[in-house]
Amino acid sequence: MILDAEAEIAIRQHLVLVALGRRPADLAIEVGRLLSVYSRSWMAEQEIIVAGRRIAYVGPVGSYRGTVRERVRHPGLSAVPGLGEVHKHIESTHITPEFEAELVLPRGNTWTCEASHEFANVNGSRNIEFWQKARRAGSPLKVFIQPGSAVPPSAWEESGGSYGHDEQQRFVSQHLDVTSLDEVMDWPAVWNPDNPGYARMWGLIGATLAGRAVVEGHGSGLTDAHDISAFAAAGLSSDHEVWALEEAWDRLERGIFTELRPFSYDAIIPGLLARGLPDWQDVAFTTDDRSASETLELGASDHNVRHAIQYGLKPEIAIQCATINPARHMRIEQWVGSVAPGRYADLVLLDDVETFRIAGVYADGRRVGEGTRYVGPEVRIGWPDWASRTVKVGRELSAKDFAIKAEPGRATMQAAVLRPFHWNEDFLVEELPVADGEVQRDTARMITKWALVDRYRGDGAVAAMFWTGWSVASSPSSGRSPTTRS
């Protein structure tokens, strides 16, 4: 189930003989029409010939000259490739990969590029094993792994993992399902030679480029042409921290693959259409962070595609932005991103293209979704302690641990306030109220309290301060929560 170079050759040798009709195929799937994401055209009455988990042949119904063990027919439905996530933190769903599969597969997601720095910071040495475990156990969801650059997040932090040149070199060279270096967020460690994280970060970038893998970026707050140019010059190939039309346009013009999140579609997609963007191949849709409950309500990548269509994008282009575009960017298009020979037999059946209404989903050549109901294999994993018992605080915590004491007799205090992804070594300073001898948050000004609790050493260390840009009333599922590194 896990991509392996030696097994890959044997699989493709078999596919060649099945495609030529010299060996029998396992399955033929007939559809009313099939979208070619290469030509952006619909092909009427097509059959997809499947051998094992892969596609061997695609052509008009009845054209395959070999024998087929089983044939299924969907004459009234339109087929498109299985949808993919170019950048997602599965950890944000708070469910493990085998249950993520059951959540997103009926909604069209058959593959995900897992931006792995959450679990990697918990147990870095077992990170690859963690993300491969569900697939090895039979899950139809393909998880392509992006080891995190933020392990640890900065040179001033410690965690349960530490990645540098040697670790990334090993990941890229030994695992075909490792696609990239996950979002490089520590921008000062990229541009500033005096930053203590500079050598580690460039070691990670160097190992990734040497392995011909992809370096993913995170350009939050970078709007100046010099900063964006430096970002691209560093080899950071993409950015999903794009909030406005000009930010998207500036990145596209400088060769940065632009990954759009749904909450910015209203600001960006109509503008790109108005400017006549002639080629959308450097644009993809990404979920980034979405809770399981919000996915149940809205959908997965199907929501992203549907939402883009609502903002005026042609369905065929919107589908490309969730299939072939991200697959090409991640250099995994030989396995996913299209319904074509050699790829996994992943397809989404639509009974209405304009609204992207899903009737069914195939993954690995078998039916896994009917409507929004999962009908694929149930994978259950008894997760070992290294994955399930990782929090070591060492003592009971109470409200007193999170109190910030004020000077005696003060009614207000000046407090340093941190902003999201603020790279400079300065802070906002705000006047905050004091009650019962403790400095209080001010939700009216969106200033709230946050704390770091050491979960690794077991000494119960807690550090509390103030944060702005997010109130307690904000929805953490909006993708804008400071509690998630997006």
Q: What is the pLDDT of residues 428-483, one digit of tens each?
A: 899 999 999 999 999 999 999 999 999 988 999 999 999 997 766 554 433 333 33
The pair of three-digit structure tokens given for residue 475, joined into one six-digit string: 């929805």
Q: Please write the tens of the pLDDT for every residue from 318-344.
A: 999 999 999 999 999 999 999 999 999
Both 231 and 94 in a single domain?
A: yes
Residue appearing with tokens 């969801």: 141
Residues 294, 150 share a domain: yes
* pLDDT given at position 473: 56
Q: Which of 302, 331, 360 is the last residue of a domain?
A: 331
User: Do 97 and 242 have their domain in common?
Assistant: yes
Biggest distance spanned by C-alpha atoms of the chain? 89
The reported pLDDT for the residue numbered 479 is: 39
Instruction: Tell which of 277, 300, 331 closes a domain.
Output: 331
**Count of domains in the chain?**
2
> Measured between alpha carbons, how far is 143 from 121 in angstroms, rounded to an integer?
18
Are 311 and 411 part of one and the same domain? no
Among all chains, which residue has been given the structure tokens 């770091």? 452
Q: Per-residue pLDDT averaged across 273-286, rounded?
A: 97
Q: CA–CA distance from 367 to each of 36, 58, 67, 108, 414 (Å)?
A: 21, 18, 21, 12, 60
Give residue 111's domain range: 82-331
Is residue 365 one of the residues assigned to a domain? no
What is the model's pLDDT at position 264? 95
pLDDT tens, 132-155? 999 999 999 999 999 999 999 888
HSE toward the beta carbon, residue 230, CA cutoff 13 A: 13
- Indicate whether 287 and 170 sit together in one domain: yes
Q: pLDDT tens digits, residue range 354-375?
A: 999 999 999 999 999 999 999 9
User: Does the CA dihedral 154-157-163-165 come out positive or negative?
Assistant: positive
CA 186/CA 293 separation, integer angstroms: 30
pLDDT in tens, 35-84: 999 999 999 999 999 999 999 999 999 999 999 999 999 999 999 999 99
Geometric angle at alpha carbon 264, from 286 and 339, rounded to 5°: 30
Q: For residue 240, which of 224, 217, 222 has the smallest C-alpha distance?
A: 217
265 plus 120 within the same structural domain = yes
In a domain, 34, yes or no: no
285 and 428 assigned to the same domain:
no
Residue 474's pLDDT is what?
52
Residue 482 forms part of a structural domain: no
Spatial contact of 468 and 456, defined as CB atoms under 8 Å apart: no
Please identify, among 281, 309, 331, the residue that sits at the C-terminal boundary of a domain.
331
- Asked if the model's pLDDT at residue 205 lies above 70, the reply is yes
Q: Is residue 466 part of a domain?
A: yes
58: in domain: no
At residue 475, the pLDDT reads 43
Q: pLDDT tens for residues 371-410?
A: 999 999 999 999 999 999 999 999 999 999 999 999 999 9
Same domain as 274, residue 146? yes
pLDDT for the residue numbered 221: 87
**Structure-block tokens of residue 448:** 């709230």
Mean pLDDT, residues 172-197:
96
CATH number at residue 159: 3.20.20.140
In a domain, 243, yes or no: yes
Query: Does residue 63 lie within any of the structural domains?
Result: no
Q: Which pLDDT score is estimated for 223?
A: 92
What is the reported pLDDT for 159? Answer: 83
- 418 and 310 within one domain: no
pLDDT digits (tens, 9 = 90+) for 108-132: 999 999 999 899 999 999 999 999 9
Whether residues 97 and 206 fall in one domain: yes
pLDDT of amino acid 471: 63
pLDDT band at 160 (very low <50, low <70, confident <90, very high): confident
pTM of the predicted model as reported, rounded to 2 decimal places? 0.91
Q: Does residue 196 fall inside a structural domain? A: yes
Instruction: State whether 289 and 428 are in the same domain.
Output: no
How many residues belong to the chain? Answer: 486
